[in-house]
Structure 1
Amino acid sequence: PGAFGKQKVLKITRLSDEERKLYPDVFVGDLYRVEFADGVDEFALKPIRLKYYFDAKYLRGENYNNLTFAYATEDGGYRIIPGSMIGKDERGYYVEAFTYHLSVFGVVLRSAGFQKHGIRLLREAVNSSGPAVLLVPGEDPTFEGVVKDNNIWETIFPDRTIMTYEYALYEPRSLAYSEMYRSFIEKEGRRSFIDFESDFLSQEILKYSQYEFDILAHGTGGLIVLRMLQRHPEVNNVRKVVLLSTPVQGTNVVNPLYFSSIFYGKDPEVLEDIFGIEWTKLKMLTLHIRNLIDTLGEVVQEILPDSQLVKELREFARNDVEIVSICGDTPPYGVDVSGTELERFYPEFVKGRGDGFVSIQSCRVGKVEQLSGNFYDLYSREENVAYIRKLLKYEVQVFSGFRSDDYEEYLPSKNPELSEESVQKVVEAKETKGTELSVLPVKILFENFLERIRSLELSSYLSGALVGKEVYIATESGVFAWDKKVFDKKIEFFKKVEDYASFVDEGDIFIVDNIGIKKYAPFPLVGDISDALITRNAIIYARVVPGGVRYYLFRNGAEKLLATSPGTTVRMKSENGNYLLITDGEVVAIGSDFKEKGRVLSSLFGEKVKIVDASFKDDAFYILLNDGSIAFVSSSRSETKNYGLTVPKKVLNFQGRILVVYDGVILDLSAGKAQRFDRGIIDVFLGNEGLFIVFDEKVRVSVEEWRLSKD
């Protein structure tokens, strides 16, 4: 509704086999000619939604974007419709897209590509104290700076960590990606791709909470950043934002009404007589506008000057983030509509006022600057690059030494069962420097040391464990023995303990052993329990209280306070006969006799450093920190290494090897080597001959068995 000035009837015709031969063979399935029944071609004022059902055999997988809508061009070629989405309903799989004009349409099968969505690390500057530079591109893909195997931004900021935010503005969208967007629409009650991506970007930045960011955004990418800051005040690790050609107040360039009325279907030579602008430049102007409208699709409606999103951005107020908005002063292709009737409609094409996408008025937010250049080269001109580098400069932090010679900030928190001997041991561990060779490898080598054996897809994942020869996986709906559901209820506290696993359901303890799952005993605890580790004869459980975490031991019908730790998050695990009690502020090792064997505070590594996970081997701790560093702490020495890996997840002791898990990387610390994976890692648990890795497949998860390579 509202796409045309009057009601229009569409005529849809399937092309015959003979007609089909006139078009490229990249199309799969039938081709359809969509035209107006009255024979009058018009450019729509609002996007027209197209939907095409295809054979399921063409779908590579729910996370692959190998199918897209396309239309045939007059020169015998075809053009991809940006932002095509895959869906599924009662009729089957389909591709949908938005267009403003009619043509011959079909579906194109591309080489299978895994959907990219989220922050990707381009280069880690391990020794830099400066904020990471995050690139958020918009309509122009060259802004990402990729030149063969290199990236120009790494040259511009040689001492900074460089990341980029990948999302499908103009790329085809996989089924999983499309369903995420549809869920957002259903939740919000409106369509807003920009707000959808702003929410996702906020989640990504919060995942990288150990970083401070300087954000460099172009075009519509800048709107995603602004909306992220506006909608998510909890994002507080952004220092500066530099916007380039971002239509904060909207842009007229992509207004379908203007384009339809002035340019669509008009002869450029006739327009030259009307507007007094050389026809070749008018032709380039027409192509520029149409390409932008085609690229943005339904997003066009969000960036018009009177859109709801633009109106809400007028209330933008984040004084904690420095924002600089930069506009160019020269429209592309030598176009200048100054002094013509077009100036009233397109101030973005007036030389000295606009850059072909925004004008100096429409980019206003924060501090506004106008530099030489147009929409396509504003960010690459040498003088502009120097200015951007100056805007994002930072002061090098100088280490001023420890606060006291006594290392008081490293003393353990008070514990009712911590002996003086134990306290002395902890203090000595912090003060002793150690003279032997480094325990942690000086460097790591990336090579594949794991091989995939089998894979399983599930709708959700909570925890996993290998018990005997059976793989048990706890999900939000129950427990699976690999792909067979064996317990059809939601459970809590699923953990591997020694050679069995345990969990709780509706007030009962269940044990999982070589025989299977059996009810073991009533669960005797009530109240707000943050985590619990259940053995055959005792329960260790944790409660988060003001000031920290309290661990209790329930055994023989009685409970007692086992330990206290600073922190707000808690996890517990069983490992080689020991129990590790881990908060973000401290790790405590407990023996099988429930006596303390050691503890380490996070403050040993710095004021803002948090503990993510830990392992305890040979009376020494291997501790994973939130900045990605690995720490080794024993009674005789402590050392820390950072290998430039981000988003730390977990530490495992596998057959004497210390394995460290990051989002997309597993590091074998004992061998000094690491393996990269093409998907985000949710969790890893141990097998007999290797690992079970749980991958994030966006909508679902995959559990895969990987074994050590024989070579």
Structure 2
Amino acid sequence: MAEENQNENKEKKQNGLKNIISRLILSVKRLRYKINRKVIIISSIIIIVAIGGILLVPMIFNSENVSSTEQKAKDLEIMIPKSAYSGNKQFIIKEIPEDSIEYQNLTSMANFQGKIYSVLPSDGVEESSLVPMKIRYKIPNDLYFGDNFTNFSIAYASEDEPPVISELPGSRIIQIDNSYYVEAETFHFSKIGLIVKSPQESDYGMKTLTEKPASYKPDLVLIPGTDVNFTGYLSNTNTSENPYGSNFWSVLFKERTIWQYKYPLVNTKSKTYYDSYQGFLMRTGSKSFIEFEAKRFAQELKRLPNREFDIIAHGVGGLIARYAIESDKSIDNVRNIVLLSTPNDGTNLANPLFFNLIYGKDSNLLMETLKIDEETSFNIKYNSNFYLEQINSYYYDLIPNSDFLNKLNSFGMREDINYITIAGKNSGIKMDLNQSSLSRLYPEFINGEGDGIVSVNSALIPEAKTKLLYDYKFYDLYSKPDVLENIKKILEDNLDAPDIKEFKDDEFIETYEQLYSQNSDGTNVSQENNIVDQQNPEFNLPINYSEFSLIKNIEFQKVLNYGNPSLHTFDSKVLISTDSGIYDINGNVLLNTEIINSYEYKNRFIVTSREGVFVLDQNSQEFIKIEEALIESDEAYYLPNFGLLRIFHNVQNSTVYLDKEIISNNSKIMEIEEYNGVNYLVFQNRISLLTKDNLNDFITKESIVDITGSNFDYIKNIEIINGDFYVSTNDYKLIYVKGDRSFYQILGDGDVGRLDLITIDDNLYVFGSDTLTYLDIPNKNFPGNYQRFDYSNFNYTIMGDTVYGIRQTSRGFELWKGNLTSF
């Protein structure tokens, strides 16, 4: 009862504050009808700053729990929270005709797919909302490739001429019933449409930018904020030795391995990612994306305990880094943390109430009242709008005195980690704003006090060992030579090279694994003698890389008008599996049913569907139904002599049933591989052997890491050749494991693709979405030849010397083929 009363009092307090704000905003709106309008504006600013800085934060930005009105068109839906405006504001949604010049102009400027809508206020008054409004655009089913793909975004076009087209940051992919949508948030509407890009799987977490030999110098971790250029990629730096190009951090720190922590607070979030966030929200009650990412970053640091790191972070990236290391004191592999323009105490540019006071208001009135010139008025409105849209999905975390910032600053700084805080004091605003009322709203725009986004007081933590101040702007600070040189000097101070004793004896075991696992006959095999001697590797690895045409004469074949097509080779035929059936290369229907999985198994092509199990063998011309079972699962595999394998996925794991018995529920399953009558289930953390009685771990991630000393994200897929295992990982590693598990070798580390492994004529072809390389298996040689495609693919197959691939373009799924180069 006490809790109910407390919640009721809290709600009353919030409603009262909402009424105050509504009356203030209404007063500002009515200024055009008032004689003493300047007085009202200034008074409103003073009151709102007071309320916004003290009481408003916990209330105004709880929009998730506020009821909203919805307006819909065919593919578009907008949701306006009741607290978004002082009154009941409505919008008019109009479809822009596809045969109009306006539509043609917009589609020529961006890769819009489908309808484009104009969303205008019915009262004709352009104003910014107090809390974000949602936009939801339906994704065509035939363009949705899977829950881990992020090739969609919502874009809006300005009313300028020509229009400026921008993608709404922070979009996410959601599912409602059997349909998928892109959902985004914004503080004002305009022309809105769906952008479709080449399909690419999301790729989050710690990713290697530059790999260097191990040394006494810590690795660097770069954590960008809203500025994607922070990773410092230098154009036109691709070489045969470095096919992925350079970045200015690798030029500055030539001897260090450099990582990037990738996260999608600006880019579109995949459904898999957003489902994981929703699980975090349900477990913790926290809706903070920054806290969610900080927890994930902390796990990344802890999975690499043998690495030591210096962290360099910009903007919001610094908050992620701080929360990770300060909330989890068990992280002990961070030496220094450099925070560039990090809003440690928040920024007023994140407050939509402040922005509402200037957006859509008469420019002459603002200039007269706030004592600013036209250029200043334009720049402040533009910069405020740009940054608020950049952080629209987590703006509430960055408002001064937010729950997140208060929680973060309650942990206390780490005494065992050296903090370097760096701030800029050039706001980019030429005018001196000290005498303007605007200085009370946005101290970040006052030269000497802010960099245009973050104030000096917010960026420089008083307790930090090193505090540096430069006359630069937020988006320039990290790239200036004097700033970079000082960062380098600080990070390399007190780094003394260790004394290295002369090597005298190599008769020792470098690594071994005290692990017992089972063979297919159920007998235990000790792996105590599984010794890795990397000084005598089985495979010869490339010293450098050469670009080489592994596939020649690539030609477009046709547009595939199917949902989620994938290619298979069976009995000298290329088959196309789709959501709705199986087709041959000419488009003839071979099986018309709702497909769950399709795969080759012991010289048969098997299809599991909602209607049962179908089989095509080498002696038949059509599919035959062999099981009538009604299958309801995310994935399903019929394994003759074993039974039906049904798989249900959740955010973290897969529950795997063999007929009616659960055989695994503690890891995500990636694929099923059959070799010489033995079934291997490939999970993210292990490769397991399926027997009639149980599931036995054959190769584990833990064993690979222990023996090779090289950590990785998770297992993606495998290929078995002559009984030996080739393991591809999510973070672009390729690992060789001898069939008896007596030898392990890292074959590729960041320089190979991860999409598929295909064996043809004793060569193992390693496909990425836009790269291809190969291994000569009989000669145990990795030549280092690679081919880079100009487009992104998501599926391949090889028949004879012909390679078939599927890519996604603005026209849809495109099938192409090319000739495999013979060696």
State the TM-score, normalizing by the size of structure 2. 0.58
Q: Secondary structure at the match of 1:332?
A: coil
How big is the shift at 1:138? 1.9
Quick one: distance in 2 between partners of 1:474 and 1:32? 44
Structure 2 match to 1:548: none
Structure 1 match to 2:394: 299
Deviates more, 1:16-25 or 1:349-358: 16-25
Quick one: distance in 2 between partners of 1:328 and 1:14? 44
1:48 aligns with 2:133: yes
Letter in 2 for 1:371: L
Quick one: distance in 2 between partners of 1:248 and 1:413? 47
Structure 1 match to 2:540: 440
How big is the shift at 1:378? 0.8
Deviates more, 1:190-199 or 1:652-661: 652-661
Structure 1 match to 2:120: 34
Structure 2 match to 1:407: 508
1:376 aligns with 2:475: yes
Picking from 101, 108, 121, the partner of 2:188 is 101
Structure 2 match to 1:668: 775
How big is the shift at 1:384? 0.2
Picking from 112, 118, 140, the partner of 2:227 is 140
How big is the shift at 1:375? 0.5
Is contact 1:651-1:659 (8 Å) kept? Answer: no
Structure 1 match to 2:448: 352
Structure 2 match to 1:469: 603
Structure 1 match to 2:408: 313
Q: Secondary structure at the match of 2:479?
A: coil
How big is the shift at 1:7? 2.6
Is contact 2:153-2:167 (8 Å) kept? Answer: no
Quick one: distance in 1 between partners of 2:258 and 2:83? 42
Is contact 1:445-1:672 (8 Å) kept? Answer: no
Structure 2 match to 1:556: none
Structure 2 match to 1:510: none
Quick one: distance in 2 between partners of 1:369 and 1:464? 59
Q: Secondary structure at the match of 2:222?
A: strand
Letter in 1 for 2:183: E
State the TM-score, normalizing by the size of structure 1. 0.65
Where does 1:164-175 land on structure 2 (aligned, <5 Å)? 164-173=260-269
How big is the shift at 1:627? 12
What do the CA deviations read for 1:445-496 (whole angstroms, capped 9, x no partner)? 56576999437689xxxx9996421367999xx99979999686999xx999
Picking from 73, 90, 96, the partner of 1:10 is 90
Q: 1:36 to 1:299 in 2, by over 3 A?
A: farther
Where does 1:96-495 land on structure 2 (aligned, <5 Å)? 96-103=183-190, 105-112=191-198, 114=200, 116-119=202-205, 121=207, 123-129=209-215, 130-150=217-237, 151-173=247-269, 185=281, 189=285, 191-202=287-298, 211-229=307-325, 237-262=333-358, 264-267=360-363, 270-317=365-412, 319=414, 321-365=417-461, 367=464, 369-372=467-470, 373-393=472-492, 394-396=495-497, 399-400=500-501, 407=508, 440-443=540-543, 453-454=567-568, 467-470=601-604
What do the CA deviations read for 1:633-672 (whole angstroms, capped 9, x no partner)? 99xx999777544799999997996969899887626342
Letter in 2 for 1:65: N
Letter in 1 for 2:603: K
Q: Secondary structure at the match of 2:134?
A: strand
Letter in 1 for 2:782: G
Quick one: distance in 2 between partners of 1:364 and 1:195? 21
Deviates more, 1:210-219 or 1:295-304: 210-219
Q: Secondary structure at the match of 1:163?
A: strand
1:70 aligns with 2:156: yes
Is contact 1:241-1:322 (8 Å) kept? Answer: yes
Is contact 1:154-1:162 (8 Å) kept? Answer: yes
Picking from 162, 166, 169, the partner of 1:80 is 166
What do the CA deviations read for 1:250-298 (whole angstroms, capped 9, x no partner)? 1112322222225641425x54444444442332122111111122223
How big is the shift at 1:107? 0.7
Structure 2 match to 1:555: none
Q: Secondary structure at the match of 2:336?
A: strand
Quick one: distance in 1 between partners of 2:176 and 2:725? 52
> Identity across aligned pairs (percent)?
21
Is contact 2:732-2:748 (8 Å) kept? Answer: no
How big is the shift at 1:323? 3.6
Letter in 2 for 1:375: F
Quick one: distance in 1 between partners of 2:481 and 2:821? 52
Unaligned runs of 5+ in 2: 1-80, 108-113, 238-246, 517-524, 555-565, 569-575, 580-596, 617-622, 647-657, 667-672, 809-814
Structure 2 match to 1:590: none
Quick one: distance in 2 between partners of 1:115 and 1:585? 25
Letter in 2 for 1:77: P
Is contact 2:221-2:259 (8 Å) kept? Answer: yes
Quick one: distance in 1 between partners of 2:476 and 2:291? 27
Quick one: distance in 1 between partners of 2:606 and 2:142? 32
Letter in 1 for 2:486: Y
Q: 1:200 to 1:502 in 2, by over 3 A?
A: farther
Q: 1:164 to 1:360 in 2, by over 3 A?
A: same
Is contact 2:97-2:103 (8 Å) kept? Answer: no
Is contact 2:96-2:102 (8 Å) kept? Answer: no
Q: 1:45 to 1:627 in 2, by over 3 A?
A: closer
Is contact 1:116-1:167 (8 Å) kept? Answer: no
Quick one: distance in 1 between partners of 2:142 and 2:722? 53
What do the CA deviations read for 1:123-146 (whole angstroms, capped 9, x no partner)? 433325243333222222332323
Q: 1:111 to 1:632 in 2, by over 3 A?
A: closer
Question: How many residue pairs align between the two structures?
Answer: 630
How big is the shift at 1:165? 3.7
Unaligned runs of 5+ in 1: 416-421, 507-518, 541-567, 588-600, 698-703
Quick one: distance in 2 between partners of 1:174 and 1:672? 34
Letter in 1 for 2:154: T
Where does 1:543-622 land on structure 2 (aligned, <5 Å)? 582=699
Letter in 1 for 2:469: L
How big is the shift at 1:110? 4.8
Q: Secondary structure at the match of 1:214?
A: strand
Q: 1:370 to 1:624 in 2, by over 3 A?
A: same
Q: 1:640 to 1:399 in 2, by over 3 A?
A: farther
Q: 1:645 to 1:539 in 2, by over 3 A?
A: closer
Is contact 2:84-2:132 (8 Å) kept? Answer: no
Deviates more, 1:259-268 or 1:464-473: 464-473
Q: 1:82 to 1:602 in 2, by over 3 A?
A: closer
Quick one: distance in 2 between partners of 1:177 and 1:121? 17
How big is the shift at 1:117? 3.5
Q: Secondary structure at the match of 1:142?
A: helix
How big is the shift at 1:247? 1.0
Structure 2 match to 1:563: none
Quick one: distance in 1 between partners of 2:567 and 2:408? 50
